[in-house]
Each structure stands twice: as C-alpha cells, then as structure tokens.
Chain A
Amino acid sequence: MTLLKEPDLGTPAMPGDATVAVEIDGLAVTVPPGTSVLRAAAMVGVEIPKLCATDSLDAFGSCRLCLVEVEGGKGTPASCTTPCADGMKVRTQSPKLEKLRRGVMELYISDHPLDCLTCSANGDCELQDMAGVVGLREVRYGFEGENHLDAPTDSSNPYFDFDASKCIACSRCVRACDEVQGTFALTISGRGFDSTVSAGMDESFLASDCVSCGACVQACPTATLQERSVVELGMPTRSVLTTCAYCGVGCSFKAELRGDQLVRMVPYKDGGANEGHSCVKGRFAFGYASHPDRVLSPMVRDRITDPWCEVSWDEAITHTATRLREIQAEHGPGSIGGITSSRCTNEEVYVVQKMVRAAFGNNNVDTCARVCHSPTGYGLKQTFGTSAGTQDFASVDAADVIVVIGANPTDGHPVFASRMKRRLRQGARLVVVDPRRIDLVRSPHVEAAHHLQLAPGTNVAVINAMAHVVVTEGLGDTDFVAQRCEGYEEWAEFIAREENSPEALAEITGVPAAELRAAARLYAAGPNSAIYYGLGVTEHSQGSTMVMGMANLAMATGNIGRDGVGVNPLRGQNNVQGSCDMGSFPHELPGYRHVSDDNVRAVYEQLWGIPILPEPGLRIPNMFDAALDGTFRALYVQGEDLAQSDPNTQHVTAALSAMDLVVVQDLFLNETAKYAHVFLPGTSFLEKDGTFTNAERRINRVRPVMTARTGKQEWQIVCEVAQAMGYPMRYDDAAAIMDEIALTTPTFAGVSFAHLDEVGSIQWPCTAAAPDGTRIMHESGFTRGKGAFIPTAYVPTKERSTRKYPLILTTGRILSQYNVGAQTRRTANVVWHEEDVLEVHPHDAEVRGITDGDLVDLASRVGRTSLRARISDRQPVGVVYTTFHHPVTGANVVTTEHSDWATNCPEYKVTAVQVALHRSVPAAAAADPGAVLVAGE
C-alpha cells in the first residue's frame, strides 16, 4: 500500500448537504455552503496552485498564488478565501492569472536558497512544485538583494530542524500549532520583510512551549521544518498504513520507508481516531524498535540468579511447555496462569487467553488492564450492560459541556486533547475534577469554568454531590429516565439524602459547596454534556463505584445515546479496550460474557474441543497472594512489566521470586525479567500483523512494516507453546485468528481483515444490523436493556495520612513518556523527562527545608525511594505528585496493597507518605536519584 502523498483539497470540508452549484473551468460541481472555490476546484480535478493553503487548516489567503477570475466579479480573488456561491462561474487559468502567479513565485524564489538538488525536501517541496506549475523560468530581481539566506537553523529539537533560511512565511506551521494542536507555541514575529517564524518568546523550539507533535513539520510546504531522519536517510519511497502502539487514542500512521528502512511516521488524514494529527510519541518515538537493548533470541535459565543462556526457539518452547506441565502435575491444574498485554494485538491477546483456558485448563488469565481500567469494565457493565465507552472521539465536537475527571488528556491522550481543546475554543464549557491543576484548567485560549480540586480519594463523594444537586433541584431528564432506565427510585432516594449534599461533603472533598453546585448545574444544563475520565477515576479503592456514579449522573440527565454526550474512558495503553474485549479477564470469555454462562461456554467448548471451567480464575493480585501461599507456581507474562508497574513492588517481587517458573514475552529484559526463567523475545508494533482496538472501540489494522526481527510472530510463539503442551492450536495467519474471534463473539461478528482493509476501521459492535460498526452506543436502548441506576455509597479509603506519613502521594504521567518508559526511555524523548520528579507544594517544601531540585526521600509504610523535588503549586497543600516512567525511582516501591473493592485495581492514586530532604546520602549517590531505593520499612 503506497500512500506517500494524500490528496490535499486546499481548505477544510464544510458540513451539510451539497446545495451550492458552481462551474469551474466549465466543470459543474455542487458543494456544501461555505466551501471554498479552491476546494470545489480540487473536487473536480482542477488543481489551482497554492502555497499557504492546505485542507487541515482554515484558509489564510496570504500567498496570493491561488488567484482566480469569477465571471461578473472584479479583480482576481484568492480562491482559498472565496466561498462558492450558487451559479458562480470560475476561471482558474488565463494569461493574466498566469502572469500574476509567476510574479508571486519570482518574489518567493528571489529569497530562497537555490539548493534544490541537495535539499532534503527535493521531490517533496511544494515551493519547488509550484515553481514548475506556474512555469517560472527567470527571477528578474536577481539574488543579490537583501534576503534571509543566512538565517540560522534551530536544531534544538531532537527530531526536526527549523531552517529559517528556507521559510516562506506562509504561516502554515503557526496555524497548525494553533488550529490543529492548540498549543499556540509559534508565532510570526516582525512585519513585512522582517516576518519570521518564532517559537515562544524568541526561544529555541526545545525551550519554548512546543510539544513536538509534528503538526508544524507536516504543514510546512518546504524543507524549513524537516524531520532529521529525512535529512539523514533521504526521502521515503513507499508507505505502510498502520496504527500507533502508544496510548489508547490509536492514531493511524503512514510508516514511510526508503527500501526497508523506516524513515518517518506520518499521521494519516483518513485515520478515524486522529484525522491527520499526532503527538511526540507516535510521530517520533519509534526508535526503540531498533534499539540495541532489544533481545532477539529466546533465553532460559534454571534459577533467577543464573546467567541467561540463549537457546533455539524449539528448545525454549519445549522447555516452557515441559515445565508448565511438570508444575501442573505436581501442584494441580490451577497452579499456573497467564497475563495478556494491552500493548499486544487483539489476535495475540486472544491466543494467550485461549492457551490458558484450553491448554492450561483453567481461567487463571488476567490482563494489565487489571491495574488501570478494570473498574471501567465492572462499572459500565453493571450500569449500561457492556464494558466500553459510549462515543467516538468526534462526538466531542458536539459537546456543550465537557467534564474531565481524573484524566490529563494533554499529557496522556494528546491527540484527543487537541480535538477537545478545539471544541473548547469554539465555546464549549469545561469542568475539571482533579486534585491537581492540569494544563487544561488554564492554557492558551482554554480555561475551565470550574476546577473541582478535590482531596485524593473523594471522587465518589463529589459525583454523589453532583447527582444530589441534579435530583434535589429537579434538573434531571425525567422522560429519558422513565423510558430508558430502571432502579431510579431507589437511587434517587439514596442520592437525595442530606449526607450526599455538597454542603455535607465539602469538608471531606475539599470542594466548596457553591462551586460544586454550579458545576452540577452546568452539566445538567448541557444541553449536550460529556464525561471523559481516566485513571484518576479507576485507580482508587472505589474505582468501580465511581464509574457507576458517573453512569448514574449521565443517565439521570439524559446524557447518553447521541452525539456530544456519554461516559468515555480514556484508555491508557493502545489496546486496553481490545485486550479486555478478547476475554482476558478471569471471569469473562471474549465479548464480556461470564464464564458461568453455559451457552457461551458451549460455543468455545465445541470449537476448542475442551471443557471450560465455569468458575472465575485468579486476578493478578490474587496470583501474587497465591504464589506467596504456595498454590500458584508458574506465570506466563505477555508484555507487562509487573515488577515496575504493579503496586507494592516488594510484594510483587516476593511473589515472582516464589514461583517455580516465570515466562516473560517482551521486547526488552525489563524489571520482571529479573525474576524470569524463560525469556521469549517479542515483536514491536512495526513487525506485528493484527489489530488494535482504541478507546472508542475502533478496531484498526496493525500492518507489518518489516519482518519480525525475532523470526516469529508472537501469536505463533503462543500457539507453539500450547501445541507443545499437547493442545492443538494452529492458525495460518493473524487474519484466521480474527475470523475465529468474529465467529465466536457476537459484537465482532462482521469484523475481518478484509472488511477492515475495505473500510479502514470499525467500531464494535459490528453486527448484521450494523455491518460497518457503531459510532455511538445505547442510542435507542442500553446493551442490558434498561440502564441500571445503582446507589453508590461513599466509603473512605483506608489509606489515611497520619502523623508519620502526613502527605498524600498521587501519581500520573507526562506527555513525552509512556507507562513504565520501556519504549520512550529508549528514544530521544528523554530530552524532555530525564527522570521522575516529586512535585511538592511550596508550603510543604518550606516546612521541610526543601528547595527546587533537592534530592528527597519519599517514604510510605511499605517502602521508600529517592527522587528530586520540583516545587509546584499545581497540587494543594498536603498532596505530592510523581510519575512512574523510570525504574530507577521506582514510584511503586511506595504504593500499597489497597485496591478497588470490585476488581482489585490498585489504589495508585492515594498513598500516605512523608517527604524529607535527603541528608545522609553519599555525594556519589546523591547525583543518582533512586540509588537509595529501598523496598520495605
């Protein structure tokens, strides 16, 4: 598939029906009102020369190249800024127009380096193209006049250069930063001849607010903003359409190659999730796939203290299967289990859960979603009937009120955040519910109407108080409730109790009652109000309760089942949704169907030829507990770094150490591999063939850009282990696995690789009734029939601050890094985040004698570590904050055993800690945060 250059119609598409008929060079075309002449012309194949126009940006009308003549009109208007009018007749070519365009190009070229043959953009330069299109043959002004040819190059960004000498001041980069990304980091400084693109306040790109999303690079028509990889490797010659492997937005990218060498990743304009936009991770941070740390050969060892020994695939697979069977023979069939990965494809995940159920003969399968969005699975299943967000991302374009709870989209889901910010700039109102003042609270052209800065651990109290306002002030949608829901009376009686009022809860939540009431009224008034949430909701002792609380609020106000509304989880990893869909939970078969359902089990029992246990298996934390009890002895870990990402590291490593066999299937020797006996090297997303499902239930193809560097696809490895254990599990290719998923899972019934290749992407449910998928769920009825109101009593977390641990630690992530950093730490993204730091409020810092940059000890009752302090008032007094991207600081050394009551999702967001200036550390160690990391106290 070659899509190096996508069509560019010059200006954005206009909404609405095509009702305006025009004639362009004698060709008739009918377009929606507001469509530019430039776009209308492109739609009938008439390409008007242009430089400042591109269809991802609003028309600007600065380059004066797209001039046209309109019959009956005066002058030569720019076609990009001229809307079509019914009956309009346009001429795009005439001697006069040609002369004008050549004159414009002469001026541009008179101040441009004439180094086309050696320029990195040679062959992909719109200035070069336009010079040819207008027939430029001479530059009458010469090249000796005042010019910008000596303008400096800014190479501060690790991924792209800004060569000011090649800039034509078309403003496309500035407008891309404003309109597409919404960061407003670039501007045109100076006027007239002195006009230059400037990052920040005349800073370098790196020092400015630039988030390195690449939108400016993509928009640049010349080599002014150019990927360094293109400079070094040359212009790509072919592309493969695939899907990003970072966050749950699931952006579509063109992997552009020169021969077999990946040169760059370019966001795909027709990508359903990203529509041509990207972030610094997906756009640039793919170098980990070829990092020398990657392990490419299988390895085994008898004891975790032994050195690794490289073996053949056959030896590794036979050894793994033999040991698994030996352990089962000695300790019982339930003594082993497996964990699937949200970084792997649906097909890879499906075969792991199948291996556990069919070859292992138990339900001891879980997934890393256990530690992030398992409460979403529980809460939305209980209330709506299925475990998925209700909307697509585009739905936010119709939202009037956006409530962001426990999420930091500009850092965690940046491409969706850009879309959300665009809607906010159009006038939608914003409510942020977060202990920390995230960027969305106040950033260029965005300001939250309300920031409910609640105390960590009091989410349920806040959502109950909002619902209390809706019910007691009569702000609900009674018709929606009456027609679509059940359980309202019991819930309404509960929520209307005085104990749930904002006034009664203000002391607990820290949110002023008047502010909360105003936010609740705003949400109820809508008319379209949407909730977006993240791990700040789920990673609490009442994570599942909070998810149900949000669902209750949405149903009570009728904010379900149409554009602009809904309850939407922002998934952390690329395939959290998919890994959950694929039956990775120990109580559910694919499609969220409980293992106790005889009819569902029968489908798989018949196809797989084995009995399936009707009882749930162990969840990840239960596996650890059982390992320490001695009843759980072997674990197959697909792409999750348990020893870094799971809470209470000492407990995790003790459990791993207690097992007889730990098998790690991963790209790198991660922290968990230190406790492994078998290492099975995995494939990067550039090598995989399969599908990812993003946070909006969108199934996207992941196509192999290169052959598997390990010689095997990961699903093949899993199948071979199962076969070596005596269970026949064979597929011709990944497409055949998806065919089995579709055959057995009603919500995937219409999904196949061929169908995906045909339509691009599909949002499940994909059924006979919805053959191309479902944008918005629960439109006419809930999956479970009627939406269920469920009372959500607030139960305080057991994790409390004490005299010894008086502060509350909460955790999050940063834009440039991803999860435990295994990928992004192996890219130039470390420029933006060399180490995890502890944000401390100025008051808390002052009373402890801590200044910015000091090395501090962070201690909880389960462990302590050290890291540098950053003084910040983003979080209130008494709350400290850090990220978990670097193993050296080991943030999870201090997190505790507390977890969500329903799902065991760890309570990462609330840990009582003490922070103190690190005084006793030797000078050498003081220079190395984490060097004093100690597990347990």
Chain B
Amino acid sequence: MIAPHVRLANDVAAQFAHLPPDTAAERIATHLRMFWDPRMRAQLLSTVDTVDTVDMAAVADGADDLDPLAAAAARLLRTPTPR
C-alpha cells in the first residue's frame, strides 16, 4: 500500500499538473510548507532522497510511487522556508 505522505503529495501534484513544470513545483512546495507538518515534509524529503540516490528497483518504501512533479516540489523543500 502506498505510504500516506506519498499519496498526499501525489494528490497535491495532480492539481497543479496543468501548469508549466517549474511553476507547478513551486506552487506545490509552497502548499507543502503552508499546510504540512514538518515531520510529513521530512518523510517526503526522505523519500525523495531515496529516489535521488538509490536504485529504484530495490526500494520498497513507496519511493517509486512518488509523482515526478511531487518529487520536484519536494526537492525545493531542501531550501529553507521563505519567511
């Protein structure tokens, strides 16, 4: 079963998929910063780290389920929260 944070991130990403990818990723990242608890963002970042560093065929934590747009947005979370 898909991990909740991955499912939720994919749901958010789907709403912005009609936008140009860079714009979509920024808006998704903003949404995640505004509405997601830090531990959920941390889980998502951890999943993206897996996507970026591990052989996807070998992982079983849902990383391969993550929408590429959600992953792009999650990478933006690595930068400090704009205040």
Contact = CB atoms under 8 A, between A and B. Distances in A.
A540 B12 CA distance: 14
A586 B37 contact: yes
Which bucket holds chain A's interface residue count? 20 to 34
Contact of A334 (B8, B11, B36, B39): B39
Interface in A774-804: 791, 793, 795
Contact of B36 (A494, A545, A598, A616): A616
Interface in B19-36: 31, 34-36
A671 interface: no
Prevailing SS type, chain B contact patch: helix
Nearest to A794: B18
B14 interface: yes
A667 B35 CA distance: 32
Interface in B29-59: 31, 34-40
B25 to A, nearest CB: 16
Contacts of B79: none
B15 A901 contact: yes
A541 interface: yes
B15 A617 contact: no
Contact of A616 (B5, B18, B37, B83): B37
B34 A594 contact: yes
Contacts of A617: 37
Nearest to A594: B34
Nearest to B41: A615
Nearest to A362: B37
A46 B16 CA distance: 68
A618 interface: yes
A110 interface: no
A723 interface: no
B4, B31, B83 interface centre (most CB from chain A within 10 Å): B4
Contact of A902 (B4, B12, B81): B12
A587 B41 CA distance: 14
A623 to B, nearest CB: 9
A791 B18 contact: yes
B4 to A, nearest CB: 4
B82 to A, nearest CB: 9
A631 interface: yes
Nearest to A460: B15
Given A616-B37, A902-B12, A598 B83 contact: yes
A791 B27 CA distance: 13
Prevailing SS type, chain A contact patch: loop
A866 B36 CA distance: 37
A669 interface: no
Contacts of A596: 34, 81, 83
Contact of B15 (A618, A621, A793): A793
A900 to B, nearest CB: 8
Given A596-B81, A795-B14, A615 B37 contact: yes
A901 B12 CA distance: 5
A793 B18 CA distance: 7
A622 interface: yes
Given A596-B81, A615-B37, A616-B34, A901 B18 contact: no
Contact of A541 (B11, B40, B83): B11
Interface in A742-791: 791
Given A901-B11, A901-B12, A587 B18 contact: no
Contacts of B39: 334, 618, 626, 631
Contacts of A598: 83
A795 B35 contact: no
Contacts of B5: 625
B37 A622 contact: yes
A618 B37 contact: yes
A545 B38 contact: no
A124 to B, nearest CB: 55
Contact of B35 (A494, A587, A791): A587
A494 B37 contact: no
Nearest to A651: B4
Interface string A606-628: 00000000111111011001100
23 contacts: A334-B37, A494-B18, A541-B11, A542-B15, A545-B15, A596-B81, A596-B83, A598-B83, A615-B81, A616-B35, A618-B39, A618-B40, A622-B4, A622-B37, A625-B4, A793-B18, A795-B17, A899-B11, A901-B11, A901-B15, A902-B15, A902-B31, A902-B35
Task: Report the 3 A-B pairs with minimum CB-CB distance, sorted nearest first.
Answer: A901-B11, A793-B18, A625-B4
Given A618-B37, A795-B14, 6 more contacts: A594-B34, A616-B37, A625-B4, A897-B4, A899-B8, A899-B11
